[in-house]
């Protein structure tokens, strides 16, 4: 009996396949939990000058973050990490990812990448925290509203 026939014939095969057909990262309450987030995007805008900075603007249920994050090498581009909502506080994590095939050599120097992130949430937030996850370690780079 070949593997496909076995998988079709047994309930265990259905269980084994169930993990392969779901949506990537699909919910579950772990560190990538996105309850309250209805949409999120990030656009890498290229090189920037001032690393680990960000500016936040909020309009009702839309949050816009424009910032500059440090990547580990020349193949890095800005990427959106987990976005969470807890008690009307939105936390946006920005990191980097490799944007080159595995066999491509990358410069071994830190690179600063600009980005614009847009997050839409179900309810108007009372606070926003932007966290960067550069090679040196995760850090909060700005909070909205700013403390006076």
Separation of alpha carbons 9 and 11, rounded Å? 7
- Domain membership of residue 110 (yes or no) is yes
Give the domain range for residue 100.
34-136
- Domain membership of residue 100 (yes or no) is yes
Q: Closest by alpha carbon to 118, among 62, 61, 71, 51?
A: 62
pTM of this structure: 0.76
- Domain membership of residue 143 (yes or no) is no
- Domain membership of residue 8 (yes or no) is no
Structure confidence by residue, pLDDT tens digits, 104-125: 999 999 999 999 999 999 999 9
- Domain membership of residue 15 (yes or no) is no
Separation of alpha carbons 57 and 66, rounded Å? 9
- Domain membership of residue 56 (yes or no) is yes
- Domain membership of residue 101 (yes or no) is yes
Q: Would the CA dihedral through 58, 61, 62, 65 be positive or negative?
A: positive
Please tell me the total count of domains within the chain: 1
Separation of alpha carbons 63 and 4, rounded Å? 47
- Domain membership of residue 47 (yes or no) is yes
What is the per-residue pLDDT for 129?
A: 98
Alpha carbon of 83 to those of 11, 60, 122, 128: distances in Å?
A: 36, 17, 13, 11
């Amino acid at each position: 009996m070949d593997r496909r026939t076995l998988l079709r014939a047994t309930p265990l095969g259905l269980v084994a396949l169930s993990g392969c057909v779901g949506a990537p990262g699909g919910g579950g309450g772990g560190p990538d939990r996105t309850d309250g987030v209805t949409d999120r995007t990030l656009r890498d805008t290229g090189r920037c000058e001032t690393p680990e900075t960000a500016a936040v603007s909020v309009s009702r249920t839309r949050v816009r973050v424009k910032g500059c994050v440090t990547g580990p090498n020349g193949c890095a581009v800005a990427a959106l990490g987990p976005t969470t909502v807890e008690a009307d506080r939105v936390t946006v994590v920005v990191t980097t990812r490799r944007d080159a095939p595995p066999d491509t050599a990358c410069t071994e120097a830190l690179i600063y990448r600009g980005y614009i992130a847009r997050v839409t949430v179900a309810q108007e937030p009372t606070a926003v925290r932007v966290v960067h996850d550069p090679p040196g370690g995760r850090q909060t780079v700005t909070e909205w509203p700013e403390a006076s």
